[in-house]
Amino acid sequence: MDMYIYKKYNMYIHKEKQPKGGYNMTFSELRDTNSTLKTIPVKGNQYTPVSERIKAFRMMYPEGSIETEIVHFEDSKVITKAIVKDPEGHTLATGHACEIEGSNNINRGSFVENCETSAIGRALGSIGIGIDTNVLSYEEKQSANNMNNRISRDEAAKLESELSDNQRKYIYDKFSIKALAELSQVQYDKVLKTLEARKTDKEIA
């Protein structure tokens, strides 16, 4: 009978290959693997980093694969899809993520890479890896926290008074927002820096 090798705690265990369903893990094996993962506390809750989820996947499926593809990339917005497969190529789960350039400190220069990481984490979470405490990965939680750090009403009003209609529309499209008050602090600082640079260029000219 066909077999494959499952690595657990540096020990190799032979498991039977399922005839039609690929390589199936038992709940107890998944639970044991999750118990070894490191978590990071954020505001009283524990979140598992994507790196830990990937390690767990490699323990469970040493010959499995994780594939990613960009399904949308326009202006400063990217959407990535991750596909997790078993050693026979059967799809176990998929995950999607969306990131916007400049929405937080990480996304200032690595929003495409960050998006891929988030998609992988969500796909692995869909098959039960690293979700004993939360489906969100640590990276997703951090991104969500940064996005929730919105500017104040006074900052939004001040920016509103300085923008032309075209500039306002450009900002809405660039950051996928419907109001200036939806800007994060990082996005707001980036807009101010751009406006200041353009103002300086005009003064020099």
Q: What percentage of the chain has pLDDT greater than the value 90? A: 22
Same structural domain, 111 and 130: yes
Mean pLDDT by 10 residues, the chain (205 residues): 40 41 68 83 77 89 94 90 94 92 77 92 90 56 58 84 88 82 81 80 47
Same structural domain, 132 and 98: yes
Same structural domain, 111 and 64: yes
Confirm if 125 and 53 have CB atoms less than 8 A apart.
Answer: yes
Out of 100, 122, 147, pick the residue that ends a domain: 147
Same structural domain, 132 and 190: no
**Neighbour count for residue 62 (Cβ, 10 Å):** 13
Q: What is residue 81's predicted lDDT score, i.e. its pLDDT?
A: 97
User: CB-side exposure of 97: number of CA atoms within 13 Å?
Assistant: 28
Domain count, the chain: 2
Q: What is residue 18's predicted lDDT score, i.e. its pLDDT?
A: 43
Same structural domain, 92 and 182: no
The rounded distance, in Å, linking the Cα atoms of 51 and 31 is: 18
Same structural domain, 78 and 112: yes
Radius of gyration from C-alpha coordinates of the chain:
22
What's this model's pTM, rounded to 2 decimal places? 0.60
| Structural domain containing residue 74 | 26-147
Q: What is residue 1's predicted lDDT score, i.e. its pLDDT?
A: 35
